[in-house]
Amino acid sequence: MKVLISWTGWRREPHTFRAGRLVPGTHLQVLRDSPYSGQFQYHYLLSVPETLEDAQQVVRELAALGNGPQTEIKMLQLLDPTDLHEIAAAVSGVLREITRRHSAAGCELHVLLNTGTPQMQALWLLLASMGLLVARLIQTCPPDLAQQSGTPPVRELNTDFSHWRELFTRLPQPRAEA
């Protein structure tokens, strides 16, 4: 069973404006317009009160697809949606609930990386790179940019960052002041 977890994007869902045109937002890009269409049985859409209206619009759009996942909005109360510690505390409870709910069904978690605040996005990367979250991270970019760069607009992000150490060990080290 495949389960998708994502955040609601504020005023960018289910559609967004790009270069003066109304285009599908990230959720529709993944769940309607990509090879992931029809692949997920469940979708947990994390939201804060400020993005509830956007979340409800995403749920309506996905329901209209016919082959979309069963989507459930999970409301998180955050005083500061940019505070990594507060986000981590809230998400840990939701992840426990999701894994407990689906563990008997052989749940395969996927996370939509591009939604939510940059701190919310960073949390998924941190959890995956630390081995605290076993999930496939799905990354998106606008189709026109993907075409220019020659990459798929929706793709899985390789979370093996071990080769980054080699990239950054070549950087000059700052000298300690005496």
Q: Counting beta carbons within 10 angstroms of the beta carbon of residue 79, is it exposed (0 to 12), middle (13 to 18) or buried (19 or more)? A: exposed
Alpha helices in 66-133 (DSSP H): 84-102, 118-129
Do you know the residue count of the chain?
178
Please report which helix (H) or strand (E) contains residue 109, including its range: strand 108-112
Q: Which of 164, 121, 159 is nearest to 26 (CA)?
A: 121
- Helix/strand/coil for 34: coil
Give the domain 2-169 fold.
Answer: Rossmann fold (3.40.50)
> What pLDDT score does 178 carry?
62
Q: Which of 23, 29, 17, 22 is nearest to 114 (CA)?
A: 29
> What pLDDT score does 143 carry?
84
Per-residue pLDDT of the chain (178 residues; tens, 9 = 90+): 999 999 997 777 767 777 788 777 899 999 999 999 999 999 999 999 999 999 999 999 899 988 889 999 999 999 999 999 999 999 999 999 999 998 866 889 999 999 999 999 999 999 998 889 999 999 999 888 888 999 999 999 988 888 887 888 777 777 777 6
